[in-house]
Amino acid sequence: MINVGIIGYGYWGPNITRNFVSHPGFQVLKVADNRPERREKLKSLYPHIEAVATAEEILHDPGIQAVAIVSPVFTHYQFAREALKAGKHVMVEKPMSRSSMEALDLINLAQSLGKVLMVDHTFLYTGSVEKIKELVDAGEIGKIDYFDATRINLGLFQPDVNVIWDLAAHDLSVINYLTQERPRSVQAIGKAHTSSGQENIAYLILHYESGMIAHINVSWVSPVKVRQMLIGGTRKMIVFNDIEPTEKVKIYDKGFSVKSDEDKDKLLIDYRHGDVYIPKVHMREALAGMVDDFYQSIKSDKEPRSDYHSGLEVVRILEAAELSIKENGREVKLN
């Protein structure tokens, strides 16, 4: 049994706590939150778990072997670093940190101490993304030409990060997971409609050496909730609609081929309209898969699916996108 402490019991903390409590390999000893009303809420649901006011009561507890950090983004680096230095395995909510320098420091520390460091990129553990990964790896859709993702809704405004750090991180983790190629550059524009100065709507374009392109639209100010990703391949196309209760993934046998008519100096486009296939995907809660991956990584000394490499890549792209926004959409190269 691995004793775990959870830092943060706000919006996402209750979901994380529930899944750690449900896992047979973990025992949740403490949950930290500095708000008395949140601690009372925890105690009403889990009277056997100690509710504490500060993260330090978890970070400095020698009886805790693993820590889940579900606190605001600006605290991720500090808490993760202290936890690793205290000899604990760490799962940190996305994004991993506020800069690639911070992420690299955490990675170096985890490597030197032999501790697991993973990021909660939840969507990598959904049945939908697992099925899409299976199809992509099997060559079912051919070479990927583009991703077009939309993740919009009304709220939840974050006080310490803008909308790309909050929402685009999900789609970036999925895109990175589905393809081994990393973007060579990113362009982004965004707008803040509040006095906080944090952009609440943004558009990202990722460019790849192969010619693949990815477009991501994120917003906290949409009248409707949309969670959709289109994946265009040379053989088939995929629609991933996370709002759908059951038919979340659809494979379209659609596409086109191009022929040139040199005599007439024009392109001839041949369109293909085939069947639509809806594969069966498992409906297990994604967080349950993430928590189990954390457990297996600790017990078996293996790399988790959502490892620190994934966390670093997402932070690097977000960092470049934020710079692009500040410089009016300038194309920012990624080393």
Structural tokens at position 8: 């943060």
Query: Is 296 contained in some domain?
Result: no
Claim to verify: residue 181 and residue 280 sit in the same structural domain: yes
Claim to verify: residue 151 and residue 235 sit in the same structural domain: yes
Contact 132, 240 (CB under 8 A): yes
Query: Is 308 contained in some domain?
Result: no
Claim to verify: residue 74 and residue 131 sit in the same structural domain: no
Q: What is the pLDDT of residue 35?
A: 97
Claim to verify: residue 66 and residue 154 sit in the same structural domain: no
Query: Among 92, 115, 138, where does a domain finish?
Result: 115
Q: Give pLDDT tens digits for 280-316.
A: 999 889 999 999 999 999 999 899 999 999 999 999 9
Whether the model pTM is above 0.85: yes
334 CB-side CA count, 13 A:
25
Q: What CATH number is attached to the domain comprising 211? A: 3.30.360.10
Q: What is the pLDDT of residue 265?
A: 63
Q: What is the pLDDT of residue 260?
A: 65
Claim to verify: residue 131 and residue 217 sit in the same structural domain: yes
Claim to verify: residue 130 and residue 77 sit in the same structural domain: no
Q: What is the pLDDT of residue 264?
A: 57
Range of the domain at 266: 124-285+316-333
Claim to verify: residue 329 and residue 239 sit in the same structural domain: yes
Query: Is 304 contained in some domain?
Result: no
Q: What is the pLDDT of residue 261?
A: 59
Claim to verify: residue 38 and residue 130 sit in the same structural domain: no
Query: Is 103 contained in some domain?
Result: yes
Query: Is 166 contained in some domain?
Result: yes
Query: Is 227 contained in some domain?
Result: yes
Apex 318 CA angle, 314 and 319, nearest 5: 115
Structural tokens at position 159: 């006080």
Q: Is the peptide bond before 223 cis (omega within 30 degrees of 0)?
A: no
Query: Among 64, 80, 115, where does a domain finish?
Result: 115
**Rounded Cα gap, residues 196 and 211, in angstroms:** 37
Query: Is 149 contained in some domain?
Result: yes
Q: What is the pLDDT of residue 96?
A: 97
Claim to verify: residue 25 and residue 153 sit in the same structural domain: no
Q: What is the pLDDT of residue 63?
A: 97
Q: What CATH number is attached to the domain comprising 24? A: 3.40.50.720
Claim to verify: residue 175 and residue 98 sit in the same structural domain: no
Query: Among 93, 115, 137, where does a domain finish?
Result: 115
Provide φ and ψ at 327, rounded to 5°: -110, 35
Apex 158 CA angle, 34 and 220, nearest 5: 150
The total number of structural domains in the chain stands at: 2
Claim to verify: residue 44 and residue 130 sit in the same structural domain: no
Claim to verify: residue 128 and residue 105 sit in the same structural domain: no
Query: Is 253 contained in some domain?
Result: yes
* Residues of the chain under the 70 pLDDT cut: 257, 259-265, 267-268, 270
